[in-house]
Amino acid sequence: MPDYGVFSFDSKDEVLAKSKEFWNPGKTDFWIESGVPLVIDRREGYLIYDMSGKRLIDVHLNGGTYNVGHRNPEVVNAVMQAMQHFDIGNHHFPSLARTALAEALIATAPPGLTKVIYGSGGGEAIDIALKTARHATQRRKIVSIQKGYHGHTGLAVATGDDRFAKLFLSDSPEEFVHVPFNDHDAMHDALRAGDVAAVIMETIPATFGFPLPHPGYLETVKQLCEQYGTLYIADEVQTGLMRTGELWGISKHGIEPDMLVTGKGLSGGLYPISAVLVSERCAGWLTEDGFGHISTFGGAELGCIAAMKTLEICNRPETRSMVHYISDFMANAMRSIQARYPDWFIGVRQNGVVMGLEFDHPRGANFVTKHLYEGGVWAIFSTLDPRVLQFKPGILLHPELAEELIERVQVAIGKAWDEVRALPRTQRIAS
């Protein structure tokens, strides 16, 4: 009987049944029907284990939350030691850990960012950034890209895809303008009236399958922002923390954003925390009314300590070099798999270990996800473009695990192709 101390279950079936009953029937059923009946039990490094004992290499990482691995021993130690002294802290007062992390974040941030505001999750951090932009510019409009994704809180959800906004009657197109990605003219049209507070951009849109910004696109957007008095918010939740081979993906574009949002991986996968780094121009409300945004758990001190250790690990020269090795390895490996399935595995979008694998079927990545799961790999299709598999190797991946991963991926891609080829012709094209 699986016994976890404060709770226990008789079986995995019991967990699934109660998950439907007490938690989320939609999600629970979805994964069972998708052929991914995963209930994560043991977890360590880049490995997770289903309750059945099935071992999986994690290349989803919960969007980069496990960037430095599950239960990274260094982060675990830091948090456990911190628990001898710290707790969440009191959000009203100046705090030891919040101050220390803020200083560490600013020291490693792109130039021009001078202050840190904390949240407890990515969505909250995005909301903080948008509120900050509105305060600083005294404008209401926010521009984001179609199929963008910035979280599910009040303002963040309105910047994203209609699927999540409309469900909760939270779309407000008059204030939240969506423009096509990689379209310079559309962006220019959206900004030219001079009434936009901020453009918010994921440096590479994750949930859209990591389509890469065309060379010069982000640079142009930043330039347009400057031209029209609009702020540029870099959403670095999935591209930060060395995943592109530099600490912040936006730095590779030479862009100095007005705000930068980080979350997920910042937690070390152990204690939730998110942060907005803002320029002096944006930071006015912190002086005008320092209580302007209140968050009991935002910048919880234990989270700050997890984040400080994680930031240190990510920013080591050894880590940066390893990401370059892993990135190089993955690029070569994918090229050789592509050469084997040129009509099926049609594209690789890659910037460091941020990767999207494109398949020639409207739901291609759904098939691949399933076969990967069967073959011992957990990687997720892109919710907003299921042709594309999100493929996110960890930044501390060991060479042997990398080789094992590719071995499994190669076989799974082949099996998914066999399945797709066997489909009736109509289903092969239809979505």
Partner 1 sequence: MTDMIEVPIEAAGVPRAKAMLERAEWAARAFARYDRESVAEIVQATARAAAAAAKDLAYKAVAETGFGVAEHKVLKNLACSTGLLDHYRGHDYVTPRIDSEAKIVSVPRPAGVVFALTPSTNPVATVYFKTLLCLMTRNAVVISPHPMAKAVCAEAARLMHDAAVAAGAPEGIIQVVEEPSVPLIQALMTDERTKVIVATGGNPVVRSAYRSGNPAIGVGPGNVPVLVDATADLRRAAEHVITSKAFDNSILCTNESVLIVEESVADPLLRAMRGEGGHLLDADQAERIRTTVFPNGSFDTKMVGQSATSIAQQAGIRVPQHTRVLLAPFDLVAPEEVLAHEKLCPVLGVVRVASARRGIDVARAVLRISGAGHSAAIHSTDPQTILDFGAAVNVLRVSVNVGNSLGGSGIETNLAPSMTIGTGYLGRSSVGENLQPKHLLNFTRLAYNSDDTVPFADFAGLSPWAAPAGPVPSYPHASNVSTPQADPAPARSATVSDDGEAQLREDLRRLIIEELTNIIKG
* From candidates 351, 369, 390, 410, binder to partner 1 by CB under 8 A: 351
- Tokens at residue 92, please? 């009203």
Residues near 254 by beta carbon (within 8 Å), at least 6 away in sequence: 219
The one-character DSSP state at 384 is: T
Helix boundaries (H) for 252-398: 284-288, 301-314, 317-340, 364-374
Q: Which is nearer to partner 1, 84 or 431 (CB)?
A: 84
- Is 87 a binder of partner 1 (CB under 8 A)? no
Show the tokens assigned to 138.
């005294």
Q: How many residues does the chain have?
A: 431
Number of CB atoms found within 10 A of residue 77's CB: 11
SS3 content of the chain, % helix, strand, coil (to 5): 45, 20, 40
- Residue 329 within binding range of partner 1, rule CB under 8 A: yes
Tell me, residue by residue from 406 to 425, as one string, x for binding to partner 1 by CB under 8 A and - for no binding.
Answer: --------------------
154: left (phi over 0), alpha (psi -120 to 50) or beta: alpha
Q: Is 189 in the site for partner 1 (CB under 8 A)?
A: no
342 makes contact with partner 1 (CB under 8 A): no
Q: In this chain, which stretch among 32-40, 100-108, 118-126, 321-329 interacts with partner 1, using CB under 8 A? A: 321-329
Choose one: 51-59, 170-178, 207-215, 261-269; the region binding partner 1 (CB under 8 A).
207-215
d(CA 148, CA 16): 31
Choices 18-26, 265-273, 275-283, 311-319; region in contact with partner 1 by CB under 8 A: 311-319
Residue 336 lies near partner 1 (rule: CB under 8 A)? no
Q: Which residues 6+ apart lie within 8 Å of 270 measured at CB?
A: 71, 72, 75, 76, 79, 306
Binding segment for partner 1 (CB under 8 A), chosen from 109-117, 273-281, 320-328, 368-376, is: 320-328
CB of 16 to partner 1, least distance (A): 34
Q: Using the rule CB under 8 A, is 212 a contact of partner 1?
A: yes
Question: At 359, phi and psi to the nearest 5?
Answer: -120, 150
- Residue 310 touching partner 1 (CB under 8 A): no
Residue 328 binding partner 1, by CB under 8 A = yes
Q: Which of 424, 303, 394 is nearest to 48 (CA)?
A: 394
Least Å from the CB of residue 189 to partner 1:
24
Report d(CA 195, CA 13) in Å as an integer.
Answer: 54
Q: Which of these ranges, 80-88, 124-132, 374-382, 418-426, lies near partner 1 under the rule CB under 8 A?
A: 80-88
Q: Which residues lie near partner 1 (CB under 8 A)? A: 74, 77, 80-81, 83-85, 212-215, 244-245, 252, 313, 316, 318-319, 321-329, 331, 348-352, 396, 398-399
